[in-house]
Structure 1
Amino acid sequence: MPGHFEPLPGGGAAVALDDVEISIIRSLAVQLLELIGPGPAPDAPADPLAELFAEGPSEPPADPVLRRLFPDAYSDPGRAPDTAEEAEERQAHSAEFRRYTENDLRAGKRENALAVIRALDALAAAGEGGAVLKLSPAESRQWLGALNDLRLAIGSRLEITDEDDTDLLYRLPDEDPRKPMVMAYLWLGGLQETLVSTLLS
């Protein structure tokens, strides 16, 4: 089980993590939370209808990691607009979509990252020297979302855009300052892959 998720009887997944692994994942999840930003203020009115119609930002984020986590809905990276009018129309549709969806997307990503932190804190409090993390099916899906977001964030910082970039990262020399981030990216990818397999089994 070390380094990969395995299915639990009755659903869910389990993985053995040592103290260093727990610390790395937790630190990355905290950084992701800081990047996504805080949720609603504690004194915000609890009006579900107002919350439903609350508008989010209409402009794409300036940070490339956030642009990767919250991409434009109407952009096609593989195809440039035929005309200036088409480009303008795409931009208007993307802004409208972002305005009504980004707050919910941020809330979901924030909840997933918090679920990871809570699970790891509970695991660390239970014993020393690492332990076996056991997740329910719902927690497993939250972890899957958080692992995906962490890999997108690290991949963006490493400027990974396709599979060829990943192949080049495997060959980085040990003295390259990106090496620790690359190792985290690849390790999280392995965790994500085995969690997907576990949930599909």
Structure 2
Amino acid sequence: MPGTFEPLPGGGAAVVLDHVEMSIIRSLAVQLLELIGPGPVEDAAGDPLAELFAEGPSEPPADPVLKRLFPDAYGAPEQAPASPADAEERRAHSAEFRRFTENDLRAGKRGNALSVIRSLDALGSAGEGERVLSLSPEESRQWLGALNDLRLAIGARLEIADEDDTEALYRLPDEDPRKPMVMAYLWLGGLQETLVSTLMP
């Protein structure tokens, strides 16, 4: 069925996409790559040790989308600290954790987005027709990660914080300027849901 991932014999998943759907997913993946940015050691190209020991940022990103993609590790934002000392300790732990993990997290998200772009490019130009995208088990996992990141990014732009916010999206009038973004958010959610079901044992 178009727009629905189905399991492949021996693992992996397949989905039928038309040229518009392929173009939308590819464009969103490229935008995600641009948002995440390049690797941490561009000046030390070819030096694996420099990359291995490069430290990431210790402060959370200012952009709300990046904040959603790379949240603080300690303490939920809505959970108030017990005291100023507790808040300071939480910030210190979060900064330390971020410093040593964010580069790897960014690399993983870049890899997932690149996998989406490459697999779509491998299909070639679909013209006005549809193409069957067949993914290996590893590519399926990368697509799942990328679809999740795309939904988080769009959700942050739409300021979706909980299920109530999602429900309100269904009631937006067609003339609302957020409507195209909402449609993309819901459509990606459907793709993600069917892909998850194909990967479940």
Q: Aligned partner of 1:181: which letter?
A: M
Contact 1:53/1:100 (8 A) holds in 2: no
Contact 1:75/1:90 (8 A) holds in 2: yes
State the Cα deviation string for residues 23-56 of structure 1 (Å, max 9, x = none).
Answer: 0000000000000001256662434343222101
Q: Percent identity?
A: 83
Gaps of 5+ in 1: none
Contact 1:55/1:103 (8 A) holds in 2: yes
Contact 1:124/1:130 (8 A) holds in 2: no
Distance 2:42 2:166 in 1: 41
Match of 1:150 in 2: 150
Q: Give the drift of 1:75.
A: 2.2
Q: Aligned partner of 1:168: which letter?
A: A
> Over aligned residues, Cα RMSD in angstroms?
1.5
Structure-2-length-normalised TM-score: 0.95
Distance 2:11 2:70 in 1: 30
Q: Aligned partner of 2:154: which letter?
A: I
Match of 1:20 in 2: 20
Q: Aligned partner of 2:38: which letter?
A: P
Aligned residues: 201
Match of 1:29 in 2: 29
Match of 2:161 in 1: 161
Distance 1:115 1:76 in 2: 31
Q: Aligned partner of 1:134: which letter?
A: S
Q: Give the drift of 1:74.
A: 0.6
Contact 1:22/1:130 (8 A) holds in 2: no
What's the secondary structure of 1:124's corresponding residue? coil
Q: Give the drift of 1:76.
A: 1.6
Contact 2:40/2:56 (8 A) holds in 1: no
Q: Aligned partner of 1:141: which letter?
A: R
Contact 1:8/1:14 (8 A) holds in 2: yes
Distance 1:43 1:94 in 2: 27
Distance 2:170 2:97 in 1: 37
Match of 1:182 in 2: 182
Structure-1-length-normalised TM-score: 0.95
Match runs of 1:50-69 below 5 Å: 50-69=50-69
Gaps of 5+ in 2: none
